[in-house]
Amino acid sequence: MRIAFILDNIILGQEPLGATTIGAVLKQHGHTVDYFDIPRDRIYWTTDAVVEFKPDLIGYSISTGLHNRYMAYNRLLKQRMPDFLTIVGGPHPSYFPDFIHTDTIDFLCVGEGEWPMLELVEALEAGKPVADVAGLHIKMPDGSIRKNPPRAYEQNLDALPFPDHSFMLKFPHLRDNPIAYLMAGRGCPYNCTFCFNHVALDLQEGRYTRYRSPENVIAECMELRDKYGKRYMAFQDDTFSLNFRYLEKLLPLYAEKIGLPYLAHLRADNLTERMADLLAETGCKRAVIGFENGDFEIRHKILDKKITDEEFLASSQLLHDRGIELLTQNMFGVPGETVESALATIELNIRCKADVMVIHFFQPYPGTDLAIMASEMGLWEGTVDDIPECNHWFVVLDLKDKELIDLIGKLSYFLLDYPKVFRILKPLAENKATRKLAFPLLKLCRWFDMKTIYSKRRGPGCRWHPPKAVFAAPEATSTGAARALGPVYCPTA
């Protein structure tokens, strides 16, 4: 069969590992797979390339907020190719399976999709019934919905092929980017209220947090380095630091066989001196730590992330002492957010000497504990269709001082780079008597920030720059394309 995966340009800052792993499974079994992107601006939408491919089945991996965009595009395709079938999967369909009632959708996958997708495609190609494919909700010919139970989580991740990294060759910004994205495992055992993990834990049977064998991870790194010219590995596991014994096996092997710098996502409360030493000795050049919010009460009582300021400071120092850059993940506009807590988030980053800050505005994804809390607090009356397409845009909840909190969030990069400006503006913004004075000053800073996109500490364009290590990596790749690059847009690495 011929299968097309449609991906929105908004998410194509890096390779979509879910869709490309499913693509690899299908290719492994002899099916023809291709990938297509939807331009960000709808005036540039075209269906010509997909129509020319002549797919039998079109798949979408959908996050909440992008669901209406994808379905609008699917309707355009249906106008030109009425006979293809549509399957949707990913977070949004998994947590809102009633999405199957949307017109033009034929199948909906709940949970991980490699084996349900393969079984569906094999059955369709052989002309066999598909009504009993585990993990799928199926729109029957009479319009009724058949809801099959989900499969158990695949426990042997080595049984899956590597993601179809040939995907990158179709998109020059990924093909020529020296950064590779991969995961050593799947799942996260924590229950932060803003995240989907507490829902995913019970979505399918079996252990949720799983690891690939070190040898399997190293083999993929070799492929990325030698076949695709990558020279920096960005591990995307939610909590790379969760299992120290696993890292003691993986990382020395990585240093010996791969020898390239890498990025890892860590948690401040399980980073130890021994682990920091191991990371530094094996080539870790940048660590990502989720600060979320600078107010401990909000982190503890609302976000259920019980990490203290002292733990953030200590873990940051461990990294700085070993020459590892610190990138922090921060979230503005959560329930309970105030002007003071928003400023505290920036202040915590300054105290921890963060090298790069990434900000997100809280999105009340229905089904998460924090979205339920926001609704109960009267801060959100919208539906899933009212959630923005991107979580970098603006404060969503109806918070007191919403406009000021939104402005502080958008200025966080600038204020991290100019801590003296922050210290002048902070008391003005915190004091209600002087807040009216602070607001135009903050707007002036925002204008300057947008006009220059300049960082005093790291140079033009730094907020999205790849780690310095990318451009100092050893000549360990087999292609010259990546080594000849200048800076590239890379918001998450």
For 433-454, the pLDDT digits (tens) are 999 889 899 999 888 887 765 4
CA distance 45 to 70: 11
* Other C-beta atoms lying within 10 Å of the C-beta of residue 483: 14
Q: Which two tokens stand for residue 364?
A: 């009340």
Predicted local distance difference test score (pLDDT) of residue 491? 38
Residue 266, H or E segment:
strand 262-266
How would residue 475 be classed by pLDDT, with cut points 50, 70 and 90? Answer: very low
Q: Which two tokens stand for residue 57?
A: 């089945």
Average pLDDT, the chain: 88
Predicted local distance difference test score (pLDDT) of residue 430? 93
pLDDT in tens, 362-399: 998 877 888 889 999 999 988 888 888 878 889 999 99
Model-level pTM?
0.89
DSSP E strands in 9-133: the ranges are: 32-38, 57-61, 85-89, 107-109
How would residue 193 be classed by pLDDT, with cut points 50, 70 and 90? Answer: confident
Report the percentage of the chain scoring pLDDT > 70: 90
pLDDT in tens, 209-225: 899 999 999 999 999 99
Average pLDDT over residues 404-419: 92
Domains (range + CATH), the chain? 2-147 (3.40.50.2300), 176-472 (3.20.20.70)
Predicted local distance difference test score (pLDDT) of residue 463? 46
Token pair 């996958």: residue: 109
Predicted local distance difference test score (pLDDT) of residue 201? 74
On whether the CB atoms of residues 87 and 38 are closer than 8 A, the answer is: no
Per-residue pLDDT at 198 exceeds 90:
no
Predicted local distance difference test score (pLDDT) of residue 48? 95
CA distance 40 to 45: 8
On whether the CB atoms of residues 342 and 409 are closer than 8 A, the answer is: yes
Predicted local distance difference test score (pLDDT) of residue 202? 78
Report the percentage of the chain scoring pLDDT > 90: 68
Per-residue pLDDT at 416 exceeds 50:
yes
pLDDT in tens, 60-94: 999 888 898 999 999 999 999 999 999 999 989 99
DSSP E strands in 309-443: the ranges are: 325-332, 356-361
Long-range contacts of 459-465 (CB under 8 A, 24+ apart): 461/487, 462/356, 463/356, 463/357, 463/413, 464/489, 464/490, 464/491, 465/356, 465/490
- Looking only at the bridges linking them, the beta strands covering 325-332 and 32-38 are unpaired
Predicted local distance difference test score (pLDDT) of residue 239? 84
**Cβ density class 329-348: b for 16+ within 10 Å, e for less:** ebbbbbbbbbbebbbbbbbb
The answer for residues whose C-beta is within 8 angstroms of residue 396's C-beta and 6 or more apart is 333, 361, 362, 363, 364, 380, 382, 387, 388
Average pLDDT over residues 418-434: 93
How would residue 318 be classed by pLDDT, with cut points 50, 70 and 90? Answer: very high
Cα angle for residues 239, 240, 241 (degrees, 5° grid): 90
Give the phi and the psi of residue 488 in degrees, each rounded to 5.
-125, 155
Average pLDDT over residues 185-207: 79
Average pLDDT over residues 153-162: 96
Average pLDDT over residues 452-460: 49
Q: Which two tokens stand for residue 14?
A: 């890096």
Instruction: Say which residue, 107 or 193, is predicted with more confidence.
Output: 107
How would residue 466 be classed by pLDDT, with cut points 50, 70 and 90? Answer: low
CA distance 182 to 17: 7
